[in-house]
Amino acid sequence: MVYSGAAITTTQRLMQPTSHQLTSAEKKAATALALVFSSRMLGLFMLLPVFAIYGSELVGFSPLWIGLAIGAYGFTQALLQIPMGWLSDKIGRHQVMLLGLGLFALGSVVAALADSVYMVTLGRVLQGAGAIAGAVLALAADLTREEQRPKVMAIIGMSIGLSFAVAMVLGPMIAARAGLSGVFWFTAATAILAMGLVLRTPKAISQAPQRETLAVPALLGKLLRSPQLMRLNLGVMLLHFLLTALFIALPQQLLALDFGSEAHWQLYLPVLFGSFMLMVPMIILSVRKQQEIGFFRLALLLLVAAALLFWLGPLQLPALALALLLFFTGFNYLEASLPALLSRQAPAGQKGTAMGLYSSAQFFGAFLGGLAGGLVASWFGLTAVYVLSALLVLGWLLLSIGMTVPAKAERLSLDLQSKSSSEVNALLQQVSALPGVLEATLVPQEQRCYLKVEAGQFDYQQLQLLQSSATS
């Protein structure tokens, strides 16, 4: 039974007096899981700025195989992201995380020992098979109180952004000293260290509401057909398409300007720092002025401008630096805002499914960016990749027509295990009639009700009273 209204943002626990601070155990869990997640993402990202340069000595090296090697992990990530989350429900979060990190380490070793681009690509496929995002986020939810989960998820999310920035700097530095194999040996070592962290992470005593953390198979088709969610899924797919395609061409253009590969980090570091400094005010202003769609389209225009500048100014280092600044400003803004928009669009009790589809689309975009970018670079030259990128972002701008931003709301869940069916129906009707309730979804199999309530308009005390009267 579903009563629909508008939209949502964060998750909170119902009606129990709780501390507004993370407990010591929650802080430890958040830190450990953020390190596990970011160490894996660090290894995946580190290849981006270096492979087009240091892979040139491999047998079979070509623009097409640059793209395939960079993006191959995205294919297996997209394919296995949701199934690995389901598997963590069957055999345990820790077991799936250890399995995934083991596959990642194995893929790193295969790539480190490779003498051909084909074996490197195989290694990347194995790296991507370690799709542990669902298990990590589910364990984070299991180990934290419901009202504190947004903070923990934010910590994990920030760690991903930090790992990308570190990878852009660390990748060129390690490759300059130890070559491409050194990068892969480093990622193998980080995977082994992450396995040690997993073993030290406590096991959950109870599981969080599954529909808020993992995909539900029966809901996949419905959410795939949602026009608003489709826009966001296609959007993140295009965003990571652009990222992968960019690094097929950019490192080689920097070399053509006599900008040595060992110094590339000196360009990436200030550009990434500058992009964060520009992105943060954009996020603040978009929220304060309630102009999320306007700033969303501004970020897309920055991506178009960056692509055109990459295309028109390939022989000038200042032009490439400016293009890179524009690109990462738009990229970082969209990378931060798209998950928030998705969370607000996802129906009550369906956030786990929505996020699973979103993550799969994200990684599939990385694979397509490598494949299509490599083909275009092979057929038409490196700068043609930027023309393709500009055209795709213009298409994304057209796709954003009709996009809506729901009202801010909060996620709640009601445990109904101790109630009879008549009590559940009566309580559901009363809860749905409360002012500020936007949507209520009853899930009989879980004996739980999921709510979306309007932020600032919902009276939590009224819900407490209803629960108390239903219990007495």
pLDDT per residue of the chain (472 residues) written in tens, 0 to 9: 333 333 323 333 333 434 567 788 888 888 888 888 888 888 888 999 999 899 888 999 998 999 999 999 999 999 998 898 888 888 888 999 999 999 999 999 999 999 999 999 999 999 999 888 888 888 887 787 766 777 777 788 788 888 888 998 999 999 999 999 999 999 999 999 999 999 988 876 556 566 667 777 877 888 888 888 888 899 999 999 999 999 998 898 888 888 888 888 889 999 999 999 998 899 888 878 778 888 999 999 999 999 999 888 656 788 889 999 999 999 999 988 888 788 777 776 677 788 888 889 999 999 999 999 999 999 998 889 999 999 999 999 998 887 777 766 677 777 777 666 776 677 777 776 677 677 667 676 666 777 777 666 666 666 666 666 655 5
Whole-number pLDDT of residue 465: 66
Range(s) within the chain of domains with CATH label 1.20.1250.20? 23-206, 230-406
Whole-number pLDDT of residue 446: 67
Whole-number pLDDT of residue 141: 78
Q: Which residues contact 440 (CB under 8 A, 6 or more apart)?
A: 1, 2, 3, 348, 428, 431, 432, 449, 450, 451, 452
Q: Which residues contact 158 (CB under 8 A, 6 or more apart)?
A: 34
pTM: 0.83
Range(s) within the chain of domains with CATH label 3.30.70.100? 409-471
Tokens representing residue 460 in the block: 């939590």
**CATH node for 230-406:** 1.20.1250.20
CATH for 409-471, among 3.30.70.100, 3.30.470.10, 3.20.20.70, 3.40.30.10? 3.30.70.100
Find the DSSP H helices in 113-226. Answer: 117-129, 133-142, 149-200, 220-224
**Burial bucket for residue 30 (CB in 10 Å: 0-12, 13-18, 19+):** buried
Helix H or strand E segment including 443: strand 437-443
> Topology of domain 23-206, per CATH?
Growth Hormone; Chain: A; (1.20.1250)
Q: Which residue has the tokens 């596990």?
A: 36
